Amino acid sequence: MATINDVAAKAGVSTATVSRTLNGKSTVDPVLAARVQAAAAELGYHPNGLARNLRRQETAVLALIISDVENPFFTAIARGVEDIAQTAGYSVVLCNADDNEEKERRYIDVALQERVAGVVLSPTGRATNVDRLTERGTPVVAVDRPLLKNTGDQVLVDTRLAARDATRHLLDGGYRRVACVSGPPGVRTAEDRLAGYTDAVGEANALTRRAEFRAEGGRLAALSLLDEPEPPDALLIGNSTMAIGVLEALASRGLRSGQDVGIVSFDDAPWTTLIDPPLTVVAQPANEVGRVAAELLLARIGDGTRKATTTTLQAKLIVRRSSRRG
């Protein structure tokens, strides 16, 4: 593979001139510049990014470490991050931590070793350790879930408030016994949604289940709830993936959502309008979460001294028919 030396030799100039020409930093004699361009083209020269980055001590790539590539909420964040990064000339590489702390740590290591310019991260939870990144001076912004040690920028969604409002909406619709299916303990968003729910129904009336943020988790939780001596007549569900399982459980029991049990789920997945009745959801501004995160990250890359900010975005209840009787 052609190196800068080959180009320089072919063009009859120094490597410095090649570098200058190709990076357009300093001004070069048009004649030499043309020779360089020609030589580079002819040789099919592609600068070695590794060498360049090693020298410059920086990279134009952002790492985005998310907890689940198969969750539409996170892929929407990814799109948001990408849109912003692209326009600023950064590439973004997506790493799927799979809600697994071990994988997350590995990807943080990769980010560190590859010396990415910055990282956007949705922390898996409890043990996420971002210190190595910050020590090294790599900017980090947390999305969706806060870091334990609140240092650095974060962009979150006010999920507690949203959960409270969604629960109240159910209560206002005449449902009497609202239960909540939330994510696993230790995951902040799961805790918050539970807390918001409890805000609305009151400690004494809380009927809850915790499960993995997956369809199977939702299914099991719903089944167990329906087997209660005094089963719920409405459910608030932690995310759209769980909702799939919950809806399956309902169907298996011959229960109609809305009619028999009111349903509100977090996340406005594309299929939610397709089912009958259409699902009432709490739509989180996922794309915007990504955009804001990327902007924050870029700002911090530009100025390491900015002080940390926390942005909290609002979710929006979209009322459809699964939360209404008849």
Partner DNA sequence: CTGAAAGCGCTAACAT
Partner DNA sequence: ATGTTAGCGCTTTCAG
Residues making contact with DNA (CB under 7 A)? 1, 3-5, 12-20, 22-23, 25-29, 31-33, 45, 47-48, 51-52, 54-57
Q: CA–CA separation, 316 vs 145, rounded Å?
A: 18
Residue 271 makes contact with a second copy by CB under 8 A: yes
Binding segment (CB under 8 A) for a second copy, from list 120-128, 135-143, 173-181, 186-194: 135-143
In the set 88, 94, 148, 171, which binds a second copy (CB under 8 A)? 94
For DNA, the closer CB: 32 or 161:
32
Provide the minimum distance between the beta carbon of 215 and a second copy in the complex, in angstroms, as a whole number: 6
Number of residues forming the site for a second copy (CB under 8 A): 56
Q: β-strands 208-210, 178-182: how paired? A: parallel
22 binds, among DNA, a second copy, none (CB under 5 to 8 A by kind): DNA
In the set 24, 30, 137, 254, which binds a second copy (CB under 8 A)? 137
Provide the minimum distance between the beta carbon of 124 and DNA in the complex, in angstroms, as a whole number: 27
Encode the chain in three state secondary structure: CCCHHHHHHHHCCCHHHHHHHHHCCCCCCHHHHHHHHHHHHHHCCCCCHHHHHHHHCCCCEEEEEECCCCCHHHHHHHHHHHHHHHHCCCEEEEEECCCCHHHHHHHHHHHHHCCCCEEEECCCCCCCCCHHHHHHCCCEEEECCCCCCCCCEEEEECHHHHHHHHHHHHHHCCCCCEEEEECCCCCHHHHHHHHHHHHHHCHHHCCEEECCCCHHHHHHHHHHHHCCCCCCCEEEECCHHHHHHHHHHHHHCCCCECCCEEEEEECCCHHHHCCCCCCEEEECCHHHHHHHHHHHHHHHHHCCCCCCCEEEECCEEECCHHHCCC
Provide the minimum distance between the beta carbon of 74 and DNA in the complex, in angstroms, as a whole number: 32
For a second copy, the closer CB: 176 or 271:
271
For DNA, the closer CB: 60 or 319:
60
244 binds, among DNA, a second copy, none (CB under 5 to 8 A by kind): a second copy
Provide the minimum distance between the beta carbon of 194 and DNA in the complex, in angstroms, as a whole number: 44
Residue 61 makes contact with a second copy by CB under 8 A: yes
For DNA, the closer CB: 26 or 312:
26
Q: CA–CA separation, 261 vs 243, rounded Å?
A: 13
In the set 52, 168, 253, 321, which binds a second copy (CB under 8 A)? 52
For a second copy, the closer CB: 94 or 223:
94
For DNA, the closer CB: 60 or 255:
60
For a second copy, the closer CB: 56 or 316:
56
Q: CA–CA separation, 317 vs 52, rounded Å?
A: 48
Q: CA–CA separation, 124 vs 54, rounded Å?
A: 31
95 binds, among DNA, a second copy, none (CB under 5 to 8 A by kind): a second copy
User: Which residue has 């922390």 as its token pair?
Assistant: 123
Q: Give the interface with a second copy as residue ranges (CB under 8 A).
A: 1, 44, 46-54, 59, 61, 63, 69-70, 72, 75-76, 78-79, 82, 86, 91-96, 98, 103, 106-107, 109-110, 112-115, 132, 135-137, 215, 241, 244, 247-248, 251, 269-271, 273-276
